[in-house]
Every structure is written in C-alpha cells, then in structure tokens.
Amino acid sequence: MTVWIDTHCHLDAPEFAPDRVAVRAAAAAAGVARCVIPAVEVGNFDAVRALAHQFGDCYALGIHPLYTPRARDADLEALDAALAARHGDPRLVAIGEIGLDYFVPGLDAGRQEAFYRRQLRLARRHGLPVILHVRRSADRLLKQLRALAAEDGGGGNGGDGRQPWRGIAHAFNGSAQQAQAFIALGFKLGFGGAVTFERARQLRRLAADLPLSALVLETDAPDIPPQWLYRAAQQRAAGQPQGRNAPGELPRIAEVVAGLRGMPLEVLAQATTRNALDALPGLEALA
C-alpha cells in the first residue's frame, strides 16, 4: 500500500467528536500512516498530545494567530514550560500552529506579530521546527524569519547549522517568489484541498512547477475541503451541508498533485514522505 503523511490535521477539532476513532481508522486504511496534529492555544495542548499518543501520530504545540485575541501574555510562558516538560516526548515534532493572518478582519496585527516573534524564539531555544500559518502574510512572516536568523548567525533551528530554519509553510498560497523565499530559508510548502480546485490556477502552477523536494501534503482537516466536498454558499443555503474534510482524503488530494506534475503516485508518496521527515526530523524516529 502507498504510504502518506498528513502534515497538518486538526484531529482534536469538535467536528470529529462523534466519530474521531473511525475517522482515523479510515485514514489508516487509506494509507495515511501518520498525522501531525497542531495545537492552536494553550487549552488544547493536552488534547493534541493525548490524540497523538492514542493514534500513534505526532503533535505540535503553539498559539495560532486567530487565537491571539483571547490569549494571555502568560500563555507564552505556559508554552515554554510545556515544551520543556515534553522535551523527551518523541511525538512532539514542532512548534505550531503559529504565524500571521491578515485576512480575518478585526485582529490586532501588532499582537499577532508579538506572539509570532516570541514563538519563533521559543523554537530556537527548544531546537524545534515551526509550522507556519500563512494567510496574506508571507512577506511579514519572511521578514521575521530572516531577522531572527541573522541575530543568531543563521544556525538551523533543527540544530544542524545547514539552513536558517526547518518547518512547513502550511496551506501555502503565495507567489512563486514567496515560495522560493520560504524554500531558501529551509521550509517545505504544504499543499492540500485548495489545489484540487481548477480555478486555483496559480496554486496549481506552483504544485506543478516547484521542485519536488519542496512539497509536503496535508489536509488541514476538518477545514479546507477539497473540491469534491466543497459546497458553495448557494448550495449551503439550499440545505446541502458543507462536506467535512478528513485525513482519509489525503491520497485523493495527492492524486491531483501527481496529475498536475505528470508523475506516478507512488513516486510522489515517497518524495513527500522524505520531505516531511526533512521538515520535521522528529517524524523519522517514529517511521
């Protein structure tokens, strides 16, 4: 069976409460050997860790930019303490989901950036990769990454000194220039359900043309449903529910990416697995 890694799946989300075990079992049956479950706030740190251990998956700890309005400054200290306490846990593979979101209205940009910078520094301190939320914010994310790399001489946060950073730019949907900038800093780019839409021409061009070594696959389940699950506003108004994304959709998303690149599915699986292990080295200990 072809084996996949879902590098971004919110398996702790309430949408999965009725059938979480069945959802993960269906994904495993489809070949999804590992899911990375990122936290979004201090309140779900224990949940993502417990699920990772329950299902043989991995997790990340961090404070999502959309949760910064209700986060307290003391939550950053709690994150630091949690990272120290879980230092020996092989299933902790990154700090995330962190980043910036300039799409959702009403967020305090300065507060977002302060949380982002502090969490990047924690990644340096604890020697962990980062999983980045990138939503109309690529240039600002890159600016902070470069600034911190320059401060400490560019040594990798994976501790090997080969590259300034390690990690994943999750749900990447920027320009080709921005893509190359993230790659140059040591990041892989996450592709998921959005690439399955024919109207997403720029994103599909990136999926087809970027170096294969730069790609990882993800679902962001239960969010970002692929085209076959998506319901437009008029359909939802007519009573058709929005399809729930799930990690078991990853192989079908991968088929779209393989088709765009004109390559065998198994070759894509092997390459994206290698790339995930490179971005999140802790995964290799569990392989």
CB 79 within 8 A of CB 119: yes
Say whether 247 sits in a helix, a strand or coil.
helix
B/e letters for 112-150, b = 16+ CB within 10 Å, e = fewer, are bbebbebbbebbbebebbbbbbbbebbebbbeebbebbe
Query: Is it true that the peptide bond before 97 is cis, omega within 30 degrees of 0?
Result: yes
pLDDT for residue 18 is more than 90: yes
pLDDT in tens, 47-96: 999 999 999 999 999 999 999 999 999 999 999 999 999 999 999 999 99
Q: Domain 4-286, what architecture? A: Alpha-Beta Barrel (3.20)
Predicted confidence (pLDDT) per residue in 100-144, tens digit:
999 999 999 999 999 999 999 999 999 999 999 999 999 999 999
Question: Residues 6 or more apart from 270 whose CB is under 8 A from it?
Answer: none
* 191-224 pLDDT tens trace: 999 999 999 999 999 999 999 999 999 999 999 9
In tens, the pLDDT along 135-178 reads 999 999 999 999 999 988 766 675 555 579 999 999 999 999 99
pTM: 0.96
